[in-house]
Homo-oligomer: A and B are copies of this chain.
């Protein structure tokens, strides 16, 4: 497969997609379980292949965060096969009738969920993406073309081959998932130019990878760049609740896209609230940056000034901006200017303000009295997620199996013709 041209790969995937779209749920689940078993059986082999990648990364001076993303130990490999088994358990979205309409002329119009077709995944150094995306695309009836980074190529091949061989042994004849073993740039460019052949590209990785893909792609792309998430503490907030939510949104796992980066506080509660939350956050090791009003309350020695750039920064770290606003309007305007359409929250006991906030803040997920950290496929009841979309079209927020589908209209008549 590795030396194939992208044109050949796409042709194979398109052919496979036609077969996959009519595979029964039972067949898909049986093959998924075989793939999970395949991973289990190949665990030592995967570990060995991964050690090669890790050694190469070490020699080429990659940092520890990079190596952590790359590394597979027994537990992580076990996690991969557990994930595949979990996907097998999820409800198959294909065939679901989303709407049904009988027209006055007797035509029955059904809007039916179908797979998208061929999905391209472009990713960096996390080898588990190979298995995650294969399992999710397979269950949703899509063929997938996987193009992982060269740094993880040995691990990706090992995982891929384990799944592929197990699926073949279980009777899967189609090229339902294809790993692009040639990691040259040219093949990525060919992939991004496969309009008509690949239906959707999903980049998985850092902002620069995503920007490159979006910039070059002739194929529709679903992505999220980054999450600059806000919590707005309203004048009518329960301040103890606000403190818990802000603490959780910043501290519980700062390195993820749904963590809070900026806290907005209404001026009428700032003098009381800020010192309390400041203490709690400081004790957790959070560095705070504030606007003039926040610094006036907290003391300019204890908190540095937040610049406009800071408000545009996704820290992914224990750093937080604070801004005091004079109204819900100002909070909404701030989010419109600095937000990334990801996840934003209001803490308030006032229903009118809550409604106003949820209507006016145009983010994939808008929260009332809860932490932004819940924006996640699992927490949204999707079982698993392939990514979080911050664009407006096709899918927004956590994407599970349903978001890997589209629909067709099936129209059944008894000989109707148009007048």
A interface list, Cβ under 8 A from B: 18, 21-22, 101, 103, 107, 109, 114, 116-117, 195, 199-200, 214-215, 218, 220, 222, 238, 241, 244-245, 247-249, 252-253, 336, 354, 358-360, 362-371, 373-375, 379-381, 391-394, 396-397, 406-418
Contact = CB atoms under 8 A, between A and B. Distances in A.
25 contacts: A18-B336, A21-B362, A22-B359, A101-B380, A107-B374, A114-B362, A116-B392, A199-B393, A245-B415, A248-B418, A252-B418, A364-B408, A366-B409, A367-B413, A368-B412, A368-B413, A369-B415, A370-B411, A370-B416, A373-B417, A374-B416, A375-B409, A380-B409, A396-B409, A397-B408
A400 B245 CA distance: 40
Nearest to A402: B99
Contacts of A200: 392-393
Nearest to A102: B381
A381 B411 CA distance: 13
Contact of A371 (B241, B363, B366, B418): B418
Contacts of A391: 220
Copies in the complex: 2
Contact of A199 (B21, B392, B413, B418): B392
The residue among A336, A370, A394, A397 with the most chain B CB atoms within 10 A of its own CB is: A370
Chain A's interface: helix, strand, loop or mixed, by majority?
Answer: mixed
B406 A366 contact: no
B417 A371 contact: yes
Given A117-B392, A362-B114, A417 B21 contact: no
